[in-house]
Chain A
Amino acid sequence: MATSAAPPAAATERTAPANPTPANTAPASSAPLLAVEDVAKTYRTRRREVTALRELSLDIGAGEFVTVVGRSGCGKSTLLRLLSGLLPVSAGEIRVAGQRIDGPPRQARCVFQDYAQSLLPWKTVAGNVRFGLRHAYEPAEGGHDELVAHYLDLVGLGHAADRYPWELSGGMQQRAAIARALAARPQLLLMDEAFSGVDALSRAKLQDVLLHAWAEEGLTVVFVTHDIDEAVYLADRVVVLHPEGHGLLADVRTGLPRPRGQVVTRELPEFLHHRRELLHMVLD
């Protein structure tokens, strides 16, 4: 029911020309797109219980770009699987657009680290994007062929439409996965270590492709990474999980200027300041 009101709002947001800093206006809104309330996750094995996360609360507003960092084992991947509805919470609740989730929320799409197992190898790159259109949150108006071309161009894969995923480099495959996720026109894009599997140059390219798509499509992005530089470079807000999964250690609004550039942004004093501070937090 709430959804009948949602599409027009999202559509206007999408058709509006790229606002380079959509996040500046977003956090003030009263109802966050994504609300995590006192969530805990406990894995039960036969012998014992392992608590991956507890007492975690977090609100993310529409249009925000949030990265999640933390020491390995702090539960950041668990958090993303909870947000994507692939794992049930053990306590607390997660709400997307005000509704408690019980399974994958319709508004969200995921980009996984393991792109080779996420793209459908029997479909071309265009076929995979078409899959995203067919299973969209917001059914697309207009011809599918033009939309496929639009999303491929958005990630710079227009030339590879008819190729198969396994013919492409890792970075290009992950761009195809991003295009597929965007083609489903989600409000929320969830990414779990999505760029960890590719080489450094492809990674920089993927970061810029993602920032471009985020600005163009008016998305909200939650991005889990173990790479502090990547976290600061991409986000407006970096969330640090407590090393034992006990709530949040820090919630930093970086406020770095946009648009960002691989060279310029990474040399900014504010960038280096946040990077130093966050590294201390994660390492100590």
Chain B
Amino acid sequence: MTSNPTATRTPGAVPLPAALGPTSATTSATGTPRRRPWFLRALRSRLFGWLVFAAALLAWQRYATANPSPRYATVSDVAVQWWDQILGGRLLTATLQTLRTMLIGYGLAAVLAVVIGVLMARVRLVYVLLEPPLELLRPMPISAVIPLLILYLGIDDAMKISVVAVAAFFHILLNAYSGAGSTHRTMMDTARTFGLTWRQTMAEVVIPAAAPSIFVGLRSALAASLVISVVVGMIAGNDGLGHLLMIQQQSFQVTDLIVGAVTIALLGYALNAAFLFVERRVLHWHFGATRTHD
């Protein structure tokens, strides 16, 4: 199979959505022997997308300036407001509060879900005990659980963190479970013949082998956590971005609402970028092993 030296793709390696990442082939255009004309290369570059986006903003700006209305705001107004509010503290405080809720809930979920997912995949008893209740809980929309959690935990951090953790938990659990359950037989045989204990097998073979799959779950959980940490502030908030947005909506502050939305978008973008940064370092071997030859 791999006798052909040009095929670096390992046989049987799980071709999971690793290619979703930003490591797409767009940047590797430089060394190719046959170069495309410049305008075709430009169309394939990510910069082109950003330029179109900038043009759309410009169009919005011109339209909003030409037709002033309280129903929308100009781009420059939003930008100025955003800067003021970040410096002014209120938006910054709310953002940090939301971020804190989110990261604690996400972190708790990550640890619990990886541990439980690996145990479910590798210990029959754990699977038997946890599979039915988890399968019942999983399809339940998280928003349906919020009122119940408010009843038990109030509207403070404990509730908000729990809601985020529950929302993130299942994304990670499913991927950790399937990743830990699909370690290749030869790799398990290798661990056995080298005399690894159960714990060593988990730590040195099963979990690293499941890491690409776990990271898929961590990534979708990150997006879900951000959404939920904002939503929970809207439903039951006393602080955070969601709460801030609700107040501003009630007072028809359109510019502020857009400022809030932009802040959440930027936060999401930054979180995703940070995630990819970590992922590329932890999973560099995986991207290397599954990359088609360049």
A residues near B (Cβ < 8 Å) are 84-86, 103-104, 106, 108-110, 112, 114, 116-118, 120-123, 131-132, 135, 137, 164, 166-167, 169-170, 173, 184, 197-199, 202
Contact = CB atoms under 8 A, between A and B. Distances in A.
A170 B195 CA distance: 25
A122 B190 contact: no
A104 B192 contact: yes
Contacts of B289: 121, 164, 166
A167 B288 contact: yes
B8 A167 contact: yes
A81 B223 CA distance: 46
B285 A112 contact: no
A198 B11 CA distance: 13
Contact of A197 (B1, B5, B187, B192): B1
Nearest to B12: A117
Contacts of A108: 193
B198 to A, nearest CB: 13
Contacts of B187: 117-118, 120
Given A121-B286, A122-B208, A167-B8, A184 B194 contact: yes
B2 A170 contact: yes
A211 B3 CA distance: 22
B208 A86 contact: no
A122 B3 CA distance: 21
Nearest to B282: A122
List of 5 A-B pairs having minimum Cβ-Cβ separation, nearest first:
A166-B289, A117-B186, A135-B194, A117-B184, A122-B285
Interface string B184-216: 111101101111100010001100110100000
Contacts of B195: 104, 106, 135, 137
Contact of B194 (A86, A131, A170): A131
Contacts of A110: 189-190, 193
Contacts of B220: none
B195 to A, nearest CB: 6
25 contacts: A84-B189, A85-B192, A86-B193, A104-B193, A112-B186, A114-B12, A114-B184, A117-B10, A118-B187, A118-B189, A120-B204, A121-B10, A121-B13, A122-B209, A122-B211, A122-B286, A137-B195, A164-B285, A164-B288, A166-B8, A166-B10, A167-B8, A169-B2, A170-B1, A202-B3
A109 B187 CA distance: 13
Given A121-B285, A122-B211, A116 B190 contact: no
A158 B209 CA distance: 26
Contacts of B8: 166-167
Interface in B1-58: 1-3, 5, 8, 10-13
Interface in B270-294: 285-286, 288-289
A170 B3 contact: yes
A205 to B, nearest CB: 13
Nearest to A135: B194
B291 to A, nearest CB: 9
A86 B204 contact: no
Contacts of B193: 84-86, 104, 108-110
Given A121-B285, A122-B208, A167-B8, A135 B196 contact: yes
B208 A118 contact: no
B192 A86 contact: yes
A142 B76 CA distance: 68
A106 B196 CA distance: 10
Contact of B11 (A104, A116, A118, A131): A116
B283 to A, nearest CB: 8
Most-contacted residue by chain B among A117, A131, A135, A169 (CB, 10 A): A117
Interface in B234-292: 285-286, 288-289
A39 to B, nearest CB: 19
A173 B10 CA distance: 11
Given A109-B194, A123-B285, A132-B194, 16 more contacts: A85-B193, A108-B193, A110-B190, A110-B193, A112-B189, A116-B12, A116-B13, A117-B10, A117-B12, A117-B184, A120-B187, A120-B208, A121-B286, A122-B208, A166-B285, A197-B3
Interface in B126-167: none
